[in-house]
Chain A
Amino acid sequence: EAGVTQFPSHSVIEKGQTVTLRCDPISGHDNLYWYRRVMGKEIKFLLHFVKESKQDESGMPNNRFLAERTGGTYSTLKVQPAELEDSGVYFCASSQDSGLAGRTGELFFGEGSRLTVL
C-alpha cells in the first residue's frame, strides 16, 4: 500500500513568487493535515481537512496561504506571494479516522516538502 506522498521534495523560489505543494494521502484516509517545521523548531499545525472540508484552519499564518482538497483526495497548499519566513519543511499527514485513541488518530506522514525562499 502506498504511503503519503508529497511533491515536490524540495523547492527553491525567490521572494514574491508562488509555490504549490501537493500531498497525496493514503487511499481511504478522510483526515488530512498540513504541518510546517522551521529549522530546528517545533512542528506547527497549519490545517486539518476532513474529506474535502476544512475542519480547522486556525494554524494558517495568513491569507498568503491557500489549501484545497478537491474531491476529498489529494490536497494542495499554495503560498502566494512567498516570503522569506515561509521557508521550512511542510509535512502532510493523513489518518483513517479520529479513532478511539484521542481525537487525532495515528498519523501517517509524508517525507515533507522543503521550501526555501530566497
Chain B
Amino acid sequence: QQPVQSPQAVILREGEDAVINCSSSKALYSVHWYRQKHGEAPVFLMILLKGGEQKGHEKISASFNEKKQQSSLYLTASQLSYSGTYFCGTESVDSNYQLIWGAGTKLIIKP
C-alpha cells in the first residue's frame, strides 16, 4: 500500500518554510526522498533509516518517526530552485524492500 503524502501541493514565497509529510500504514525499514523538476529526472535528496541514521544533502532536512511510520521533509528558507514535485518512497519487509512511492507533493516557489 502506497504511502500518503501531504499536502498534495503548496505554493510559497521565496524565503518561506515548507514541510512535506509522508505517512505509511506499514512498518518501515527506510524512507527515501526525491525531487523532480518538470520534464527532468527525479533526483535523490535523502535516505532515512530505521534506527535514526540519516543521509542527505543541500539545505534540506528530514525526520523519521518509526513508531508512527511517518517522515517529514523540511525545506527552510525556500529558494526558487526548490520548486518541483517531491516524492517519498518507503521500504518495508512487505514490499520486499522495493520502494513504494507516494503520489508526490508539488511545490511552487514564487519570487
Contacts and interface: CB of A to CB of B under 8 A. Distances in A.
Interface of A: 3-4, 35, 40-45, 48, 56, 58-59, 91, 93, 101-104, 106-112
Contact of A103 (B29, B34, B101, B102): B29
Given A41-B103, A104-B30, A108-B41, 20 more contacts: A42-B104, A43-B87, A43-B101, A44-B101, A56-B98, A58-B96, A101-B30, A101-B55, A102-B32, A102-B97, A103-B30, A104-B91, A104-B97, A106-B44, A107-B32, A107-B34, A107-B42, A108-B44, A109-B34, A109-B41
Contacts of A91: 41-42
A3 B41 contact: yes
Contacts, number: 72
Contacts of B100: 45
A111 B103 contact: no
Nearest to B97: A103
27 contacts: A4-B41, A35-B101, A40-B103, A41-B103, A42-B2, A42-B101, A42-B102, A42-B104, A43-B104, A44-B101, A45-B101, A93-B42, A101-B53, A101-B55, A102-B30, A103-B30, A103-B91, A104-B30, A104-B32, A104-B91, A104-B97, A104-B98, A106-B47, A107-B34, A107-B99, A110-B41, A111-B41
